[in-house]
């Protein structure tokens, strides 16, 4: 009994000591179960002490016996770590010391040996002593080699450069995090507790982890070059204080949380692990992860130390001042402390805890103040649009990049997503390296169902992968039309093309180019292939081409611009000019396959049927032909604009239509003669039963709309030029024999008039020379530019005016008025064109303008090459606006008479029948042939004097510059309000709704933005537009210009002369001539059919006087454009009709005649019927010789100029 009592007291004292210092979640735990093995006596000898012992014994588990005296064993765990660390450190230092001493001794021995050799001494005994030394050195060398191989093997095992090393590094990190999670779980238990290793699952897992860490530590130790620095590394220190205590736990059947929280320091390597896994690639992401991992690991480690000391207490206080704190309360305490908030609800009570907090506040506050703002900044600067595009199954997407601004994007989306397009199931992905501003972001949000934006650059392959460029249907590159350096902008877009093609060569690219000469660089890209749909929309080429066509047919630039732009129909009830103009604006250009009901019919017959029956206007077809080359047959698909009767419609022919929406064009595909022949309402023409039967039959053609990458571009020769495939259309031998084969009149392709290169000094006119020269019916080009101005490519303006489908005498003389320094830079591309002159000066000088007879010109073009970096957009066009207003304010005398009226297009051109020798212009003759205001051939007859007098009286009143036909180029659309002071356009009105644009007197490059979406949906549209406005430029010609930067002259061969036989745009006057009866109240449909049947001319619009609808006569000579009027549209005598005219072979022989017979009849019978008197066949050769001699004289005179 006494022994039992003593044992109980000892237990009680030990229990109090344990209770005073016991911690970890509330101090000691009470247990009602007592192991009998802990008693020194049996249960029967001391029954009285059992309850007392139950209250005083150290709390233990039921299975595990603890120290009967309740002693704390934390020192054993800590001692194992300290002994390991300092013991290893001592061994390393001892090894280094011994190695150093051995090295010094050997070095001294070597020196002594060398000294003995120098002195010639040395006995046999010394030599014998050296041999064992040499043998030892050899053994050491062999041993070093073995150690080196082991070291290299260990380095490979832990290196992240190999797959094994990466797997091992990632596995160690993952297990470290697992060990940290186990620590978090065990932190809810007391700091020190008795646990059975064989039954504690968490202890077993932790043991397995630490065994792996020990093995990995060994590999790292072997691979380390400097063992001392390795021993002092953070990761090594973590292993010292976490691995040995686990083995002590197994031995003592005890668990001590201790310093296991140091595993949180492994989080510092988190960024390295993510880099090994190729997850982090950018510097910002690596830096962000580094900052976060350092901050979190320091935070968790410090919280673990506070948790240890606060739950244990101070050792010198016999662990009596402890407080129960959970680990997460310590985490909260440190965050409040670092942030300098300090609520005071949780605080350190122990001396060790407070001392640690003093030093932690210094470092933690500094870390919090520096790391947290930087982390927030990195997160704030993180790309908001830095994700990746997720492709939607069954839905295409395109990538739009380049110049992404509010203006360019809004214009693009307005046209691309227009409701008139019937199948816009395409998602638009914008990629730009600058995040959008608020306005642009709002625009994206309004179209969020079809538009996505990602921040990045197409020059970065990673960003291209983000937007799934390899699966995109196309990539569209927008250019900055208002940049100060166009060449630099083009170079940027070319680099974008190179980057995209390098990443995915098969992607279709449509890019905007500013300068024509830069298009040649695209040909250097190996994967650039225009046959597969790649297109370059050259804004300068098309802009100047539109302006050039306006010189030939005023108002044509407006009509063509409206055709490829998507405009919604705006209905106006009032009978004003805007009503008819807007009805035409609603028309666009579409393509559709023709029904089999049209197969075998000629193009004019189908065109008439489609216009009268289906209310559609067809202007061109895609013609299929075959070309034999040696051993194989090459299939060609070529676009023919208004071909003659010889062209028959084939099965699956693609037609080009002008209509208000895509649904109307479907009528041409659904039309069936058996089912729809008696239908008068075109809206009732829909898919019939016959068509369904055709669809069920196997066919090589899909009834769907032509795919964008198919068809036209599967042959190198399928160029966008107009070609005739009937060999009879080539001029006969009789005509060719009369030509001088030794004179080069055309370029090598036969598409343009050509002359030998001239020196610029020979075409320069002084003001006096120009004033004494009778210039009329010419084109005046007012150009602003200087030595520093970027070249705008005036060749693109001259080439359409020198197309070979004009006869030489029909060419308008071109006079440039501007800076001679600038024109010298452009002259290299102009010196091969005939009838070009230069007047050095300024377009703002009225003396220069009067010297070139601007009041007698057919068209005045105002251009500017100056790219002004002006913040105020209204000042960008100040020069062009001032020049336009200057010309309009000029006053001229009344002596111009009928000639002025002729230039305005009112006087029947038949009055201008002066002799060719009466009005020389530098030896060039004023065209006395049948002309309109655009000075191009029309059909007319000799005007009656009674009809002429009113026009003469009207023309005599035209003595101001307001009646001069002008077209002004504008950079900023809003500046159009300054061109006409008498219009009522609102400053916020869109460009196409303004009066100057509707009249064809203003043109802005912004209207060409619509070509991007139009080309994407149908690449043939761009081919057709380019063919119409450039005069016949082909990819072959572009390649030639890219090589030589100039046109090359060629001899007149049947092949080159055949290229002249192509359509051109003309204007038909209704005041007099064969259509005069229809001009006074007739129907447009009757005019359309008559012109098509009689002269193979295809009418497609009207150029009408602005006030023609008024009942009272008006002196206003402004005209506006009406596109594709309906059949029953009423005509007025002053209308000018836009038409596509066939090339007239007779115009070169008889200037006063125009054939109205079909081309087939001309080629077969060589007969022509004219409105005027027709010379006999016998006299024709003489006329031909006379014409040839006159033309030779003209060329000689032109060469002299």
Task: Lowest mean pLDDT of 467-471, 488-492, 562-566, 673-677, name the range.
Answer: 673-677
Q: What is the CA radius of gyration of the chain?
A: 47
CB 1028, CB 549: distance < 8 Å: yes
Joined tokens for residue 473: 């249907």
Question: Taking the CB of residue 705, how many other CB atoms lie within 10 A of it?
Answer: 19
Q: What share of the chain is helix, strand, coil (3-state, %, to 5)?
A: 50, 10, 40
For range 93-121, the mean pLDDT: 75
What percent of the chain clears pLDDT 70, i.e. is strictly above it? Answer: 74
Confidence of residue 207 (pLDDT cuts 50, 70, 90): confident
Q: Domain extents for the chain?
A: 2-71, 74-113+144-263, 282-382, 396-533, 743-1008
- The residue-averaged pLDDT of 202-220 equals 87
Q: Does 365 score more than 60 pLDDT?
A: yes
Average pLDDT over residues 566-589: 84
Residue with tokens 């295809």, as numbered in its chain: 1098
DSSP 8-state secondary structure symbol assigned to residue 729: G
The answer to whether residues 881 and 498 touch, using CB atoms and an 8 Å cutoff, is no
Residue 112: what pLDDT? 67
764 DSSP 8-state letter: B
| pLDDT band at residue 692 using 50, 70 and 90 as cut-offs | low
| Residue 377: C-alpha distances to residues 287, 380, 774, 900 (Å) | 11, 5, 73, 71
- Asked if residue 349 has pLDDT above 70, the reply is yes
Q: Determine which of 362-366, 707-711, 905-909 has the lowest per-residue pLDDT on average.
A: 905-909
* pLDDT tops 80 at residue 601: yes
Of 912, 920, 857, 919, the residue nearest 1151 (C-alpha): 912
User: What is the distance between the alpha carbons of residues 860 and 325, in angstroms, rounded to a whole number?
Assistant: 92
Q: Which CATH class is domain 282-382?
A: mainly alpha
CA distance 1086 to 1095: 14
Mention every residue, 6+ apart, whose C-beta is less than 8 A from residue 629.
Answer: none
- Mean pLDDT highest for which of 36-40, 567-571, 639-643? 639-643
Q: For position 346, what pLDDT does the model report?
A: 86
pLDDT for 631 equals 57
pLDDT exceeds 70 at position 42: no
Query: Which one, of 885, 886, 807, lies nearest residue 850 by Cα?
Result: 886
Q: How sure is the predictor about 685, in pLDDT bands with cuts at 50, 70 and 90?
A: confident
Token pair of 533, please?
């749909």
DSSP run (H or E) holding 864: strand 859-864
Beta bridge partners of 421: none
Residue 639 phi/psi, 5-degree rounding, is -85, 125
Say whether domain 743-1008 belongs to CATH 3.10.450.230: no
Answer whether residue 930 shows pLDDT above 70: no
Q: What is the DSSP letter of 323?
A: -
Considering the chain, what is the average pLDDT of its residues? 76
Q: Residues with Cβ < 8 Å from 1081, sequence gap 6 or more?
A: 1130, 1131, 1132
Whether 282-382 and 396-533 share one fold: the answer is no
Answer positive or negative: Cα dihedral of 493, 497, 500, 503.
negative
First CA to last CA distance, the chain: 143
Second CATH level (architecture) for the domain 396-533: 3-Layer(aba) Sandwich (3.40)
Q: Which two tokens stand for residue 722?
A: 């107009």
pLDDT at 978: 87
Q: Is the pLDDT of residue 1149 over 60?
A: no
Q: Are 374 and 381 in contact (CB under 8 A)?
A: no
Of all residues in the chain, what percent carry a pLDDT higher than 90? 28
Q: φ and ψ at 405, to 5 degrees?
A: -135, 175
Candidates 253, 300, 803; CA nearest to 553 is 803
pLDDT at 836: 95
Q: Output the pLDDT for position 1118.
A: 87
Highest mean pLDDT among 62-71, 688-697, 751-760: 751-760
The tokens for 850 are: 């009067």
- Taking the whole predicted model, whether its pTM rises above 0.95 is answered as no
Q: Which two tokens stand for residue 534?
A: 């790649």
Beta bridge partners of 921: 924
In terms of pLDDT, which residue wins out, 1 or 971? 971
Kindly give, in sequence order, each residue whose CB lies less than 8 Å from that of residue 726, ignoring residues fewer than 6 positions away: 646, 1159, 1160, 1163
């Amino acid at each position: 009994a006494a022994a039992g009592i003593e044992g109980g007291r000892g237990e009680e004292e030990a229990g109090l000591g344990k209770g005073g210092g016991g911690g970890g979640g509330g101090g000691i735990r009470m247990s009602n179960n007592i192991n009998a093995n802990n008693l020194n006596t049996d249960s029967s000898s001391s029954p009285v002490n059992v309850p007392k012992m139950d209250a005083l014994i150290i709390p233990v588990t039921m299975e595990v016996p603890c120290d009967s005296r309740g002693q704390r064993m934390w020192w054993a765990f800590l001692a194992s770590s300290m002994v390991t660390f300092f013991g290893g450190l001592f061994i390393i230092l001892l090894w280094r010391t011994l190695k150093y001493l051995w090295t010094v001794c050997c070095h001294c021995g070597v020196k002594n040996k060398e000294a003995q050799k120098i002195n010639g001494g040395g006995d046999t005994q010394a030599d014998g002593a050296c041999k064992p030394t040499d043998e030892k050195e050899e053994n050491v060398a062999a041993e070093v080699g073995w150690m080196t191989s082991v070291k290299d093997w260990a380095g490979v095992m832990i290196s992240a450069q190999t797959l094994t090393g990466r797997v091992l590094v990632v596995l160690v990190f993952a297990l470290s995090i697992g060990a940290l999670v186990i620590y978090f779980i065990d932190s809810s238990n007391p700091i020190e507790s008795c646990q059975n290793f064989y039954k504690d699952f968490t202890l077993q897992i932790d043991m397995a982890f630490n065994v792996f860490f020990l093995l990995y530590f060994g590999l790292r130790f072997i691979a380390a070059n400097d063992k001392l620095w390795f021993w002092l590394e953070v990761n090594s220190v973590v292993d010292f204080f976490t691995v040995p205590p686990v083995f002590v736990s197994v031995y003592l059947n005890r668990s001590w949380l201790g310093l296991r929280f140091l595993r949180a320091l492994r989080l510092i390597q988190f960024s390295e692990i993510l880099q090994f896994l190729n997850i982090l690639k950018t510097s910002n992401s690596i830096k962000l992860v580094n900052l976060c991992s350092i901050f979190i690991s320091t935070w968790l480690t410090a919280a673990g130390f506070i948790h240890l000391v606060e739950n244990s207490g101070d050792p010198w206080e016999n662990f009596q001042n402890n407080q129960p704190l959970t680990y997460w309360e310590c985490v909260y305490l440190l965050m409040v402390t670092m942030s300098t908030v300090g609520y005071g609800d949780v605080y350190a009570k122990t001396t060790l805890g407070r001392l640690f907090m003093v030093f932690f506040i210094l470092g933690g506050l500094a870390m919090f103040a520096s790391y947290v703002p930087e982390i927030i900044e990195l997160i704030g600067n993180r790309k908001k649009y830095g994700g990746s595009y997720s492709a939607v199954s069954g839905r295409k997407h395109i990538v739009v990049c380049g110049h992404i601004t509010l203006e360019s994007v809004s214009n693009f989306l307005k046209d691309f997503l227009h409701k008139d397009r019937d199948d816009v199931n395409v998602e638009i992905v914008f990629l730009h390296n600058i995040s959008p501003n608020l306005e642009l972001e709002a625009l994206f949000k309004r179209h969020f169902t079809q538009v996505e934006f990602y921040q990045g650059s197409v020059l970065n392959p990673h960003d291209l992968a983000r937007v799934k460029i390899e699966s995109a249907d196309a990539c569209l590159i927008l250019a900055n039309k208002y940049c100060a350096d166009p060449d630099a902008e083009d170079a940027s877009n070319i680099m974008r093309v190179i980057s995209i093609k390098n990443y995915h060569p098969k992607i279709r690219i449509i890019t905007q180019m500013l300068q024509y000469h830069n298009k040649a660089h695209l040909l250097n890209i190996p994967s650039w292939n225009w046959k597969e749909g790649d297109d370059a929309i050259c804004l300068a080429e098309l802009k100047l081409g539109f302006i050039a066509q306006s010189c030939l047919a005023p108002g044509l630039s407006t009509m063509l611009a409206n055709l490829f732009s998507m405009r919604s129909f705006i209905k106006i009830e009032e009978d004003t000019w805007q009503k008819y103009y807007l009805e035409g604006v609603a028309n666009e250009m579409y393509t559709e396959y023709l029904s089999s009901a049209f197969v075998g019919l000629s193009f004019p017959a189908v065109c008439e049927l489609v216009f009268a029956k289906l209310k559609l206007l067809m202007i061109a077809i895609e013609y299929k032909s075959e070309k034999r080359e040696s051993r194989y047959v090459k299939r060609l698909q070529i676009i023919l604009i208004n071909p003659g009767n010889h062209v028959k419609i084939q099965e699956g022919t693609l037609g080009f239509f002008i209509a208000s929406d895509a649904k109307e064009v479907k009528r041409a595909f659904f039309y069936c003669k058996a089912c729809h022949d008696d239908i008068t309402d075109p809206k009732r023409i829909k898919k019939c039963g016959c068509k369904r039967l055709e669809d069920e039959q196997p066919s090589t053609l899909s009834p769907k709309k032509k795919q964008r990458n198919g068809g036209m571009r599967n042959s190198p020769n399928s160029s966008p030029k107009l070609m005739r495939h009937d060999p009879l259309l080539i001029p006969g031998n009789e005509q060719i024999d009369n030509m001088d084969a030794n004179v080069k009149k055309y370029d090598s392709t036969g598409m343009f008039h050509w002359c030998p290169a001239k020196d610029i000094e020979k075409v320069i006119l002084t003001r006096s020379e120009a004033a004494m020269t009778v210039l009329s019916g010419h084109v005046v080009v007012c150009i602003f530019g200087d030595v520093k101005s970027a070249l705008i490519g005036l060749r693109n303006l001259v080439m359409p005016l020198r197309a070979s489908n004009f006869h030489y005498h029909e060419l308008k003389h071109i006079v440039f008025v501007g800076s001679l320094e600038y024109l010298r830079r452009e002259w290299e591309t102009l010196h091969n064109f005939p009838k070009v002159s230069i007047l050095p000066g300024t377009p703002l000088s009225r003396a220069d303008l009067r010297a070139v007879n601007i009041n007698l010109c057919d068209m005045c073009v105002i251009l500017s090459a100056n790219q002004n970096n002006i913040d105020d957009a209204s000042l960008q066009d100040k020069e062009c606006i001032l020049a336009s207003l200057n010309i309009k304010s000029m006053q001229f005398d009344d002596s111009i008479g009928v000639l002025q009226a002729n230039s305005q297009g009112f006087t029947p051109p038949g009055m201008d029948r002066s002799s060719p020798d009466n009005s020389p212009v530098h030896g060039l003759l004023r065209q006395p042939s049948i002309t309109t205001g655009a000075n191009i051939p029309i059909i007319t007859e000799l005007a009656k004097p009674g009809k002429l007098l009113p026009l003469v009286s009207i023309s005599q009143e035209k003595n101001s510059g307001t009646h001069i036909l002008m077209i002004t180029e504008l950079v900023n659309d809003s500046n159009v309000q300054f061109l006409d002071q008498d219009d009522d356009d609102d400053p916020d009105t869109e460009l196409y709704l303004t009066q100057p644009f509707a009249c064809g007197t203003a043109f802005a490059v912004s209207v060409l933005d619509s070509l991007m979406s139009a080309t994407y949906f149908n690449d043939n549209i761009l081919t057709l537009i380019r063919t119409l406005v450039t005069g016949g430029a082909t990819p072959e010609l572009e390649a030639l210009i890219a090589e030589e930067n100039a046109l090359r002259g060629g001899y007149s061969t049947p092949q080159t002369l055949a290229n002249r036989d192509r359509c051109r745009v003309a204007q038909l006057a209704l005041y007099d001539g064969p259509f005069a009866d229809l001009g006074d109240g007739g129907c447009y449909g009757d005019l359309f059919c008559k012109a098509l049947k009689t002269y193979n001319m295809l009418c497609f619009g009207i150029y009408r006087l602005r006030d023609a609808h008024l009942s009272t006569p008006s002196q206003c000579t402004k005209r506006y454009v009406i596109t594709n009027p309906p059949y029953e549209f009423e005509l007025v005598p002053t209308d000018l009709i836009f038409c596509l005219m066939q090339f007239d072979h007779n115009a070169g022989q008889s200037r006063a005649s125009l054939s109205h017979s079909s081309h087939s009849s001309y080629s077969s019978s060589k007969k022509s019927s004219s409105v005027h008197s027709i010379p006999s066949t016998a006299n024709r050769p003489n006329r031909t010789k006379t014409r040839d001699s006159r033309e030779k004289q003209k060329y000689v005179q032109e060469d002299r100029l």
